[in-house]
Amino acid sequence: MTSFEFKWTKTKKSYTSKDSGTKKTKILKEKEPRDKNDPKEVKKKSSKLQNKTEVTFSKIKTTDNQSFIRRKRKKEKTKVLQNERNVQSELVKGHSMQHSMFSEKYKNIHVNTKIRGASVVEKVFSAGKKFNDLPLHKYLISNLEKNNFNILTNVQEKSIPSVLQGKNCLIKSQTGSGKTLTYAVPILNSLVNKTPKLQRTDGIQAIIVVPTRELALQTHELFGKINTFQWIIVGHLCGGENRKTEKDKLRRGLHILIGTPGRLLDHILHTSAFNGKNISCLVLDEADRLLDMGFKKDVVRLVEELDRFKTNSSYDPLALLKGKKPEEVETDLANVDINRQTLLVSATLSKGVAELADFTMKDHVYIDAFDESETINPDHMVIPNTVKQEFILTFIKHRLVTLSVLLISKAKCSNSKTIVFMATTQMVDFHYDLFSHYLLKMPKNKGKLKVGDVLLLDEIDIEDFEGEDQVLDIELFKLHGNMSQQERKTVFSDFRKTKKGILICTDVAARGIDVPEADCIIQYTGPQSDEDYLHRVGRTGRAGKSGSAIIFLTHEEQDYITRLQEQKVFLKEYDKSILTNNLKDFMEETDENKATVLLQKRFESALLKDKELHKKACFAYSSWSRFYSAFPVKMKPIFDLKKINIGHYVTSFGLQDSPTIVAKIVRGQAKKVDPKHLNKKLANHEDNVELRTKRPKRPIKSLSLTTSEYSSGFEPAKKKKKKNFND
């Protein structure tokens, strides 16, 4: 290989080939005078300047003058910062020319938001009927009263008598109306009254199936409150818990068992200590949710397995072989008395629930808490009338800032619990990190910085973020199905205990979760179905309390307002002056547009500096776009990916990159991950080098960025290795 030695002079460049020893000289052409204002020349000049700096540095290095280098670098850094600031001020000027964030002028609303009508209202409480009016055990009544359960709710008044009589029931009533007690009270009552007293060896008496782990825990807690009868043992089993501990629990004996379908089925099939012969009551709570997400198969199997416990004694599958006629065998089957009460409970009634009711119960009564005198239209949604429902119509690229301001306003309230629903686990992770580091907190001892003076944050190095100070007085929580069971448990109970907090979560918290103090629900991404809308909103306004529910819609999605109107749900527009004032106040900026841009820029520069967060933002955007493109057919005309500017959506994740670049980043990261661990990886966003080196790379066929919220928590079954007969 030939190598050269270069020598530079002002007008000529000469080099000597070491191999041939020949010296070649190239005379530089006489340069023509250049136009200083030509943009190309300006660019060239600046790149030359940069090269010059590099050369200077290399020279300095050779002289080994370290302190000089440090001073030089510091100067350079200040220059860059100055540049950034100049760019920012230019941006502010530029943006203020564009549409305003909250301005009415640029609002492009084509739906009639003023339409009002009579919403469908369901009474929450009965006309004064009390628990002590019911034929219940006196200690059970006193336990209920101790917990402030005195007056029956409407659904309790209508259903508890039928449940006490042992009837199969399909119970429907609005969210937060106290459906849990409609089965908890009769179950406990029947077990307390049993003579002789129940023993641990008597096995499971009642089984309650719920769709999520949090709901299992919550239902267990409710039983704990009203069950002071020490001989009645209540337990829960759900994914993510230690299986061995659960087996021990079952071995020791339980009477009321609460669990998620996957884990329950697993124990029924594989735990010999599972004693289901004496189950006299089966409850399917949140029945419609149990049918979603592939739960249907598990629920059907679970019911079949429970039936098998009962029928094993009377039904003989080998009857034909024993010489019985086929007609006799069929009548045997039909006559098998399952002798078990089944209760289906739900806030929404779908075709699937009706089918499940037919499958699980021979005869059943249908109890709807809705007033019979009114005509029931299945298309009308029943939402507690104590909930103020509003929408915020935003430009896509202002979504992030608008949400931030809304959270800032919540932080100012003295006692407020807000639940923010997002589409995917990656979105939850990203927004949680972004807000906890760049909205709620500020660097410590930044001296002259006043609380809330966030503009100067851009001047601070990321290293300075050690030891941050909380400037907004509110706690932030996150909850999604990709967190460990222990984390989920802690978050859920901490959020319930805290006086003031914001929970960012996926739909894992949309069903059944009861946080009585939750006073505001924010739907940052649209619901996948109208039922989802109803259940999300139903996390507030529990048992007659008041609350507010705000949905974020972009101009492209505004038809959702009309869709809700058709179902007798009338939304008002959120008072944007609250947002404007809070934003201006927080940013200490009188011009709302400047404040908007600066907050957005602050997030963007945070992402530029924080590589980990940038990666999370890319994954969050990517998971969002997959989610958005997979809206069910019914909702597709409203939430249509083709209608929206995805470039703006990238901005709403604080990213400055184009969607193509983001996709490349995600693909690049995903390729490094072993496919088996992809979901977990995408949720944790860790680039685990160990995993990569240990396992051979395989091509990725498909990527799943949204992971199931409702998994049983078990590891996927390992495929059996094919035997190699040559071994």
Ligand X SMILES: Nc1ncnc2c1ncn2[C@@H]1O[C@H](COP(=O)(O)OP(=O)(O)OP(=O)(O)O)[C@@H](O)[C@H]1O
**547-575 burial: b if 16+ Cβ within 10 Å, else e:** bbbbbbbbbbbbebbebbbebbbbbeebe
Residues 424-453 that bind ligand X (CB under 6 A): none
When asked if residue 567 is in the footprint of ligand X (CB under 6 A), the reply is no
As a whole number of angstroms, the distance between CA 366 and CA 169 comes to: 6
Q: Which is nearer to ligand X, 160 or 613 (CB)?
A: 160
Q: Which is nearer to ligand X, 443 or 547 (CB)?
A: 547
When asked if residue 384 is in the footprint of ligand X (CB under 6 A), the reply is no
When asked if residue 175 is in the footprint of ligand X (CB under 6 A), the reply is yes
Single out the segment in contact with ligand X by CB under 6 A; choices: 149-157, 400-408, 497-505, 556-564.
149-157
Question: In this chain, which of 95, 102, 141, 153 binds ligand X, going by CB under 6 A?
Answer: 153
What single-letter amino acid sits at 686?
Answer: E
Task: Answer yes or no: are the C-beta atoms of 84 and 605 closer than 8 Å.
Answer: yes
As a whole number of angstroms, the distance between CA 149 and CA 480 comes to: 31
Residues 663-682 that bind ligand X (CB under 6 A): none
When asked if residue 541 is in the footprint of ligand X (CB under 6 A), the reply is no
Q: Which is nearer to ligand X, 283 or 455 (CB)?
A: 283
Single out the segment in contact with ligand X by CB under 6 A; choices: 173-181, 380-388, 454-462, 563-571.
173-181
Residues 500-519 that bind ligand X (CB under 6 A): 512, 514, 516
Single out the segment in contact with ligand X by CB under 6 A; choices: 67-75, 113-121, 176-184, 476-484.
176-184
146: tokens are: 């101790």
Single out the segment in contact with ligand X by CB under 6 A; choices: 11-19, 174-182, 305-313, 314-322.
174-182
Burial-class residue 448 by CB neighbours within 10 Å (0-12, 13-18, 19+). Answer: exposed
- Report the residue closest to ligand X, judged by CB: 178
259: three-class secondary structure by DSSP: strand
- Taking only Cα atoms into account, the Rg of the chain, rounded to an integer number of angstroms, comes to 32
Bridge partners (DSSP) of residue 236 are: 258
Q: Which is nearer to ligand X, 179 or 236 (CB)?
A: 179
Q: Residue 278 CB, nearest distance to ligand X (Å)?
A: 26
Task: Answer yes or no: are the C-beta atoms of 622 and 662 closer than 8 Å.
Answer: yes
Q: Which is nearer to ligand X, 478 or 539 (CB)?
A: 539
Q: Residue 590 CB, nearest distance to ligand X (Å)?
A: 44
When asked if residue 235 is in the footprint of ligand X (CB under 6 A), the reply is no
Q: Residue 153 CB, nearest distance to ligand X (Å)?
A: 5
Task: Answer yes or no: are the C-beta atoms of 256 and 191 closer than 8 Å.
Answer: yes
Q: What is the dihedral of CA 166, 171, 175, 176, to 10 degrees?
A: -20
The binding track of 21-50 with respect to ligand X, each residue x by CB under 6 A or -, is ------------------------------
Q: Which is nearer to ligand X, 188 or 407 (CB)?
A: 188
23: three-class secondary structure by DSSP: strand
Q: Residue 420 CB, nearest distance to ligand X (Å)?
A: 18
Q: Residue 147 CB, nearest distance to ligand X (Å)?
A: 8
Q: Which is nearer to ligand X, 176 or 235 (CB)?
A: 176
Size of the site for ligand X (CB under 6 A): 19
When asked if residue 538 is in the footprint of ligand X (CB under 6 A), the reply is yes
When asked if residue 370 is in the footprint of ligand X (CB under 6 A), the reply is no
When asked if residue 542 is in the footprint of ligand X (CB under 6 A), the reply is yes
Task: Answer yes or no: are the C-beta atoms of 707 and 679 closer than 8 Å.
Answer: yes
How many C-beta atoms surround the C-beta of residue 644 within 10 A? 17
When asked if residue 159 is in the footprint of ligand X (CB under 6 A), the reply is no
Q: Which is nearer to ligand X, 149 or 639 (CB)?
A: 149
Single out the segment in contact with ligand X by CB under 6 A; choices: 42-50, 147-155, 547-555, 630-638.
147-155
State the DSSP string of 380-401. S-B--TTEEEEEEEE-GGGHHH
Question: In this chain, which of 95, 123, 179, 431 binds ligand X, going by CB under 6 A?
Answer: 179
Which residues are CB-neighbours of 9 under 8 A, at least 6 positions away?
Answer: none
* Helices 425-438 & 399-412 angle (0-180, nearest 10): 60
Single out the segment in contact with ligand X by CB under 6 A; choices: 175-183, 404-412, 418-426, 478-486.
175-183
As a whole number of angstroms, the distance between CA 45 and CA 43 comes to: 5
Q: Residue 210 CB, nearest distance to ligand X (Å)?
A: 9
Backbone angles phi, psi at 690, to 5 degrees: -55, -45
As a whole number of angstroms, the distance between CA 282 and CA 270 comes to: 20
Backbone angles phi, psi at 674, to 5 degrees: -65, 130
Question: In this chain, which of 136, 141, 152, 210 binds ligand X, going by CB under 6 A?
Answer: 152
Cis? peptide before 196, omega within 30° of 0? yes
As a whole number of angstroms, the distance between CA 163 and CA 169 comes to: 7
When asked if residue 347 is in the footprint of ligand X (CB under 6 A), the reply is yes
Q: Which is nearer to ligand X, 176 or 261 (CB)?
A: 176
Residue 360 CA, chain-centre distance (Å), reads 31
When asked if residue 211 is in the footprint of ligand X (CB under 6 A), the reply is no
Q: Residue 257 CB, nearest distance to ligand X (Å)?
A: 19
Q: What is the dihedral of CA 382, 388, 393, 399, to 10 degrees?
A: -100
Q: Residue 259 CB, nearest distance to ligand X (Å)?
A: 17
Of all helices (H) and strands (E), which one includes residue 624? Answer: helix 611-629
What single-letter amino acid sits at 444?
Answer: K
Residues 298-327 that bind ligand X (CB under 6 A): none
Q: Residue 294 CB, nearest distance to ligand X (Å)?
A: 21
Between the alpha carbon of residue 589 and those of residues 456, 584, 604, 652, the distances in Å are: 12, 5, 19, 21
Q: Which is nearer to ligand X, 452 or 544 (CB)?
A: 544
Task: Answer yes or no: are the C-beta atoms of 255 and 232 closer than 8 Å.
Answer: yes
Q: Which is nearer to ligand X, 128 or 516 (CB)?
A: 516
Question: In this chain, which of 100, 143, 180, 189 binds ligand X, going by CB under 6 A?
Answer: 180
Between the alpha carbon of residue 495 and those of residues 387, 413, 457, 481, 693, the distances in Å are: 21, 16, 29, 16, 39
First-last CA distance in the chain: 51
The binding track of 105-144 with respect to ligand X, each residue x by CB under 6 A or -, is ----------------------------------------
Interface positions with ligand X (CB under 6 A):
149, 151-153, 156, 175-181, 347, 512, 514, 516, 538, 542-543
